[in-house]
């Protein structure tokens, strides 16, 4: 085999290779579609729970269906005392926030008697349980890490409202709730990114739903995937003030330094999600005294487009959004997962329904004729 | 996009697609190679620790290197009291054994201060820690589930010896140790199977070593991947006695029923690992009073080759091997992982060294022109 040509696909991250058909989300023309709806339309007109219903069922709910679905999610939002003890043990370690979340979600699966049910109804039941509880888990972990008592969810409120209240111990304003809810809608799914692909590969072995999601979290943890929004905030702090933006960009362009949150492998006209967050976040940034940071991001965006022809991706504004909402940088990637769990769930449902185990080949570039030499002669 | 032809690769599990180059393991001619050595050569002449050294470093150790490496693994074999408490909490749940192991390994990563170090030296250090402790973790979980106290590893003994002693509370004979050690060698790596591929996809996001391995476990849990050896034992019990084998096979062939542990997607002349286990297991089967089961498997093998031209894979004899060694069926897949963690480690080392994030495409088969209708009108 070593004599053959190395195939073109090797070591290119499967770029351009179609792994599956899908009807959940796609990058189409200049925008992102969920189930055929543009992300702009959904961000403006639908809440997160409505969007999750769309992703899982292929259709938007009517008022009765939405109320029922919200009730089902809400019914799973409260954590047991036993599970909170588990979270406390995990929170006490000094590990990466996503390593903790990976462990917490894996453990959450152990307490589901229906975990092994991978029929469509079984997966939807598990996805409802996990998506309903996910925000509570992330919020509880955040507070436990800071030595604070977890706050229970309030019935009749959205996942967005409850999350902000449970993390901060302070009820969100209507603007804050809308902003965070929109951020959840924007992050819910994004075609075959590495974490979604991981979840589908796990599902293709007919493993259980919680293994699929744990697998997704393992990949989302990687700095090439989640985590760029935190890097944008670090960059803003490094630059410091508005008047230093231009020289920072000049230096980056001249010396080929990476500007965080800029550029995307697939969108050519810029990430539509970044545009939505840019506009929607201004009010909350002003109220939080972070208007300067917002102006700095807008200036960086203009300069990068002018000088390099590159546009921002979703991570460019989301870190500032979360900061303006009073959230900690170490919770940014777990917050991504509060939303993305919904997309992973839709994607593994689709994988189970039309499955073939993923089993690509590795191309051998090593020797084929070695013989074991007795250890005394090595 | 929906008008385009669906590409041939879609929904075929990436069959035939080369995802990466590799120098770790490959199916070559009629056998399996690790680093260029045939599995027959390694099974006969090398122990598990020696094989792990080969997989990680690309060369077999000399006597001094092997002794040093065994010492490094051994130094990590003992679990802390705190971690044993975590295992106890996990063991108490009624979940699938692999869901428990997934959680246990994810948690083990939280207690490693060097978890986020993905330099080659960092990954080898983490892999040494985990591979050294893995057998102790699986053995402790097995005993805790049965209400027994975990047994600590004994210094100066092999991973194989210690594992059998720690699970059973009974020292293995030399034959038993050799048989189990060989089973570990045979299961250490196997090209880009789904769990290894999962571990590499996770690593491609530059996530940490423990996330890679947790991802691998999520996939190994799936019944299309791990778990077939347990199904072979169930089949043997169902058949009952030697004289009923032929009619069972006749019925299976006539009615297109699947015979467990038979057939493999890649090997054409049969899995070399099955041949090795078949021969090596006879003595231990006899001593355990399981000679009849061994005869039944040999007869099934002959009949399936004659009537369907199909040959056994590694799972066909491994379940009987583990049963003869006094191990529980629910521990079979975790035992697979005691060995395979070494191959996953080698593979993610290779991935980190020559990385590109895995990001295939999904082919859109859904609509592209939906508009949100106000909820009151749905």
Instruction: List chain B pLDDT tens, one digit each, 378 residues.
Output: 445 799 999 999 999 999 999 999 999 988 999 999 999 999 999 999 999 999 999 999 999 999 999 999 999 999 999 999 999 999 999 999 999 999 999 999 999 999 999 999 999 999 999 999 999 999 999 999 999 999 999 999 999 999 999 999 999 999 999 999 999 999 999 999 999 999 999 999 999 999 999 999 999 999 988 888 999 999 999 999 999 999 999 999 999 998 999 987 678 788 999 999 999 999 999 999 999 999 999 999 999 999 999 999 999 999 999 999 999 999 999 999 999 999 999 999 999 999 999 999 999 999 999 999 999 999
CATH number of the domain where residue A259 is located: 1.10.230.10
Which residues lie closer than 8 Å to B266 by C-beta, 6 or more apart? B27, B191
Position A13 in a domain: no
pLDDT tops 70 at residue A29: yes
Cβ–Cβ contact B46 with A under 8 A? yes
Say whether pTM exceeds 0.95: yes
Residue A132 contacts residue A78 (beta carbons within 8 Å):
no
User: What local confidence, expressed as pLDDT, does residue B3 receive?
Assistant: 55
At residue A32, what are phi and psi to the nearest 5 degrees? -105, 135
| Cross-chain residue pair B103–A100, CB shorter than 8 Å | no
User: What local confidence, expressed as pLDDT, does residue B269 receive?
Assistant: 81
Buried b (16+ CB within 10 A) or exposed e, B277-311: bbebbbbbbeebebeebbebbbbbbebbeeeeeeb
Cβ–Cβ contact B61 with A under 8 A? yes
Distance from CA of B246 to the nearest CA of A (A): 31
Q: Are residues A135 and A279 in the same domain?
A: no
Q: Are residues B59 and B171 in the same domain?
A: yes
Q: Are residues A252 and A109 in the same domain?
A: no
Percent of chain A with pLDDT over 70: 99
Q: Are residues B183 and B232 in the same domain?
A: no
Kindly indicate the confidence band of residue A3, based on its pLDDT and cuts at 50, 70 and 90: low
Active-site annotation of B, residues: 264, 315
| Cross-chain residue pair B221–A198, CB shorter than 8 Å | no
Q: Where are the beta strands (DSSP E) in chain B?
A: 18-22, 25-28, 31-34, 37-38, 361-364
Position B2 in a domain: no
User: What local confidence, expressed as pLDDT, does residue B2 receive?
Assistant: 46
Buried b (16+ CB within 10 A) or exposed e, B133-144: bbbbbbbbbbbb
Per residue in A309-342, pLDDT tens?
999 999 999 999 999 999 999 999 999 999 999 9
* Sign, Cα dihedral of A149, B112, B75, B181: positive
Q: Are residues A301 and A337 in the same domain?
A: no
Q: Are residues A203 and A319 in the same domain?
A: no
Kindly report the average pLDDT of chain A as a whole number.
Answer: 96
What residues pair up with A262 in beta bridges, in sequence order? A312
Q: Are residues A162 and A257 in the same domain?
A: no
- Single out the residue of B72, B169, B173, B79 nearest to residue B126, CA to CA: B72
| Cross-chain residue pair A12–B356, CB shorter than 8 Å | yes
Structure tokens at B35: 């680093």
Helical spans, DSSP H, in chain A: 39-45, 48-57, 63-75, 81-91, 97-110, 120-145, 159-168, 174-187, 194-203, 209-220, 228-239, 245-254, 272-280, 282-287, 291-308, 315-324, 332-353
The residue from B305, B324, B343 where one domain ends is B324
Distance from CA of B23 to the nearest CA of A (A): 5
Q: Are residues A167 and A291 in the same domain?
A: no
Position A369 in a domain: no
Round to whole Å and give the CA distance between A155 and B140. 42
- Which chain B positions have a beta carbon within 8 Å of A41's beta carbon? 371-372
| Cross-chain residue pair B375–A50, CB shorter than 8 Å | yes
Per residue in A93-121, pLDDT tens?
999 999 999 999 999 999 999 999 999 99
Position B191 in a domain: yes
CATH number of the domain where residue B191 is located: 1.10.580.10
Number of H-type helices and E-type strands within chain B: 17, 5
Q: Are residues B232 and B345 in the same domain?
A: no
Cα–Cα–Cα angle for A292, A294, A299, rounded to 5 degrees: 95
- Which chain B positions have a beta carbon within 8 Å of A207's beta carbon? 218-219, 221-223, 225
Position A5 in a domain: no
- Single out the residue of B150, B159, B195 nearest to residue B180, CA to CA: B159
pLDDT tops 80 at residue A4: no
- Single out the residue of B61, B311, B33, B22 nearest to residue B188, CA to CA: B33
Active-site hit among A53, A190, A264, A294: A264
DSSP character at residue A375 = G
**In which region does residue A17 sit, left (phi positive, over 0), alpha (psi from -120 to 50) or beta (all else)?**
beta
Q: Are residues B86 and B209 in the same domain?
A: yes
User: What local confidence, expressed as pLDDT, does residue A270 receive?
Assistant: 86
**Structure-token match 């097995």, residue found:** B142
Domain count, chain A: 2
Cα–Cα–Cα angle for B86, B92, B95, rounded to 5 degrees: 105
Note if A315 is an active site residue.
yes
Position A184 in a domain: yes
Per residue in A207-258, pLDDT tens?
999 999 999 999 999 998 888 899 999 999 999 999 999 999 999 999 999 8
What count of other Cβ atoms lies within 10 Å of the Cβ of residue B221? Answer: 30
Position B145 in a domain: yes
| Cross-chain residue pair B60–A28, CB shorter than 8 Å | no
* Sign, Cα dihedral of A191, A192, A197, A200: positive
Cβ–Cβ contact B329 with A under 8 A? no
Q: Are residues B37 and B122 in the same domain?
A: yes
Round to whole Å and give the CA distance between B342 and B213. 10
Residue B11 contacts residue B4 (beta carbons within 8 Å):
no
Domain of B338, in residue numbers = 25-222+328-353
Position B303 in a domain: yes
Cβ–Cβ contact A68 with B under 8 A? no
Greatest alpha-carbon span in chain A: 78
Q: Are residues B60 and B136 in the same domain?
A: yes
Kindly indicate the confidence band of residue A1, based on its pLDDT and cuts at 50, 70 and 90: very low
């Amino acid at each position: 085999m070593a004599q053959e040509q190395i195939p073109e696909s090797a070591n290119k991250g499967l770029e351009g290779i179609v792994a599956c058909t899908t009807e959940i989300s796609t990058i189409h023309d200049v925008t992102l579609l969920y189930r055929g709806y543009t992300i702009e339309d959904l961000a403006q007109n639908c809440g997160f729970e409505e969007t999750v219903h769309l992703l899982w069922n292929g259709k938007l709910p009517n008022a009765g269906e939405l109320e029922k679905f919200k009730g089902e999610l809400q019914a799973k939002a409260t954590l047991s005392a036993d599970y909170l003890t588990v979270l406390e043990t995990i929170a006490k370690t000094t590990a990466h926030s996503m390593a903790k979340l990976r462990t917490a979600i894996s453990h959450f699966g152990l307490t589901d008697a229906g975990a092994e049910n991978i029929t469509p109804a079984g997966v939807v039941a598990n996805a409802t349980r996990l998506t309903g509880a996910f925000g509570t888990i992330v919020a509880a972990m955040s507070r436990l890490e800071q030595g604070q008592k977890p706050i229970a969810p309030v019935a009749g409120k959205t996942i967005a409202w409850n999350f902000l209240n449970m993390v901060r111990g302070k009820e969100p304003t209507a603007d804050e709730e809308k902003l965070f809810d929109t951020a959840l809608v924007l992050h819910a799914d994004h075609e075959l990114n590495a974490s979604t692909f991981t979840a589908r590969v796990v599902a293709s072995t007919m493993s259980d739903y919680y293994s699929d999601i744990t697998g997704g979290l393992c990949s989302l943890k990687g700095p090439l995937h989640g985590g760029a929004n935190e890097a944008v905030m670090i960059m803003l702090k490094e630059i410091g003030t508005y008047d230093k933006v231009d020289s920072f960009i000049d230096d980056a362009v001249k010396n080929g330094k990476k500007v965080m949150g800029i550029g995307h492998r697939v969108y050519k006209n810029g990430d539509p999600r970044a545009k939505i967050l840019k506009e929607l976040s201004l009010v909350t940034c002003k109220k939080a005294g972070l208007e300067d940071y917002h102006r700095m991001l807008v200036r960086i965006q203009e300069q990068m487009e002018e000088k390099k022809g590159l546009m921002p991706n979703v991570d460019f504004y989301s870190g500032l959004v979360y900061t303006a909402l009073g959230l900690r940088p170490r919770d940014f990637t777990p917050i991504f997962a509060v939303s993305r769990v919904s997309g992973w769930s839709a994607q593994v449902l689709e994988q189970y329904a039309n499955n073939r185990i993923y089993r690509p080949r590795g191309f051998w570039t090593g020797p084929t004729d070695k013989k074991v030499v007795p250890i005394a002669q090595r």
